[in-house]
Structure 1
Amino acid sequence: MEGMTRKQLDKAETKDFALGGKPMRPRDAATLILLDRVGSETRVLMGRRHQRHAFMPGKFVFPGGRTDPADSRIAVAAGLHPAEEAKLIGSGNRASAVRARAIALSAIRETYEEAGLLLGRKGDFSTTRKDWQGFAEHGVCPSLDILRYIARAITPPGRVRRYDTRFLAAWRDDVAVALPEGGPTDELEEIVWLPLIDAMDADIPAITRTILQELGNRLAADPNLEPGGDVPFYRMLRGHFHKDIL
């Protein structure tokens, strides 16, 4: 996708997004790429979005959604690794430690809501927030030190929804509780674990394929996803889809 013009990108993404949206400011969003290493193969968790959605209908995606600033006030077992926090703080126009914390926690919350997977550590946890009650009920305190910042992408103009999405990764071993009935929302269906190479051939948005390619390259060079790795940042800039490294 790097280097595409606005016209080329619109054509490539006509099946991913409803086009024709009015000018709007992108909203903060976070998504979690949950990885599972089986022998020499790395698998990734994905789910299919319902056809009724205007944003990526019917596509396989990672769990994720819009960031709720109130998530920053949720108690955690451990904060972001300093190298990861610095990357998140330094990659936004209004970035701060509080904002970075909210983004990271929203990725964990969305993974619970959409896939029924609670990431963190077993232990006492309480909150008055309705959307975090599952963690309290199952005795899981969310933890941010398990997260790695993988990529950032801003939805181009002209879509009915625009997001400034941070792609974070964690390992399946970081799941403290997996609910057999899935999450409390119906955002995703057909939740599956796909080998990385098969995921890139699935019915996924173009930007998701690009992020998976970036992830594959990073895993090849850094199998354990050490903190502070390079973060590719995709956005429309001066009429072309541009890639920076954070």
Structure 2
Amino acid sequence: MNAPTSFFKGEKEDDSHPYFRPKDAATLILIDRSGPKPKVLVGRRHDKVVFMPGKYVFPGGRVDKSDNRIPVAAPIPAELEASLMRGSPKIAPSRARALAVAAIREACEETGLCLGRKSDAARSAKLDGAWKPFAEEGLLPDPSSLFLIARAITPPGRVRRFDTRFFSAEASAITHRVPNVIHADAELVELVWVEIGSEPLAAAHNMTKAVLHQLDKRLATGPLRHDAPIPFFHWYGGAMQMDTLAPDA
């Protein structure tokens, strides 16, 4: 087990709430490489939301029951499925698929940026709710361009706990933009493309900064690969620890 990352120094265990089992969640980090340095998309959360008010975050949220049943334009790559199934507790391939699809759904719902592909099956797929923009454009969600960047479990004692998988995708994978999703009364009130380590991220949640640090290291080595070790942040021994989930884990 690796030593605690410096982002979490001084963080203490919280016993103000009873134990809650973490719920599966997914987050999508969109990367823009059109300039001299890569930029990532973050959104500023509304000041009145319960979870991380006012913080800059990646779009994301918990997995819905429907995420495994939604038809997709292409299956998740076998290498991505294998990455998601590293570590424990072990998950089924259907859960791996649901996590990837949830990341796409949450990104479209919170930012209006949708990763999909034209399909004749889209209009007959009965996509509704958060998936309605896909149906209207004749799209099905396309998880084939996603990479797994990190996994993190919220420490015990928090009012909400998530077992979150952080995915990334290139901005070029965005195929549709839903207007008027970002506004003063929305969950995310602002979207910004920023370089990793830039000023808007100085006050980001420690986990956001820790994941971005790992992403920055991955980007520095060249194109993203599915066989790279996956950082796994979790609370152990009274402190946040970072393990790595290797391909044979």
What is the TM-score when the length of structure 1 is the normalising length? 0.89
Q: State whether residues 65 and 107 of structure 1, in contact with CA within 8 Å, keep that contact through their aligned partners in structure 2.
A: yes
Task: List per-residue Cα deviations over 1:190-229 (Å, max 9, x = no partner).
Answer: 111112231674321001000000000010013x212222
Residue aligning to 2:31: 35
SS at match of 2:48: coil
| Aligned mate of 2:83, from 72, 87, 100 | 87
Residue aligning to 2:136: 137
SS at match of 2:11: helix
AA partner of residue 62 (structure 1): F
Q: Does 1:197 align with 2:197?
A: yes
Residue aligning to 1:75: 71
Quick one: distance in 2 between partners of 1:201 and 1:59? 9
| Aligned mate of 1:10, from 8, 12, 18 | 12
| Aligned mate of 1:63, from 33, 50, 59 | 59
Where does the alignment leave 5 or more consecutive residues of structure 2 unmatched?
A: none
Size of the alignment, in residue pairs? 239
Residue aligning to 2:212: 212
Quick one: distance in 1 between partners of 2:77 and 2:156? 33
Quick one: distance in 1 between partners of 2:38 and 2:108? 21
Quick one: distance in 1 between partners of 2:94 and 2:243? 24
RMSD of Structure 2 on Structure 1 (CA): 2.4
Structure 1 segments (4+ residues) deviating >6 Å: 4-7
Residue aligning to 2:118: 122
Task: List per-residue Cα deviations over 1:44-73 (Å, max 9, x = no partner).
Answer: 111111111221111000000011132111
Report how far residue 28 of structure 1 moved.
Answer: 0.5
Aligned CA distance change for structure 1 residues 96 and 200 (closer, same or farther; 3 Å): farther
Quick one: distance in 1 between partners of 2:101 and 2:126? 14
Deviates more, 1:67-76 or 1:121-130: 121-130
Q: State whether residues 150 and 231 of structure 2, in contact with CA within 8 Å, keep that contact through their aligned partners in structure 1.
A: yes
What is the TM-score when the length of structure 2 is the normalising length? 0.88
Quick one: distance in 1 between partners of 2:105 and 2:228? 24
Percent identity of paired positions between Structure 1 and Structure 2: 43
Report how far residue 90 of structure 1 moved.
Answer: 2.5
Q: State whether residues 59 and 110 of structure 2, in contact with CA within 8 Å, keep that contact through their aligned partners in structure 1.
A: yes
Where does the alignment leave 5 or more consecutive residues of structure 1 unmatched?
A: 12-17
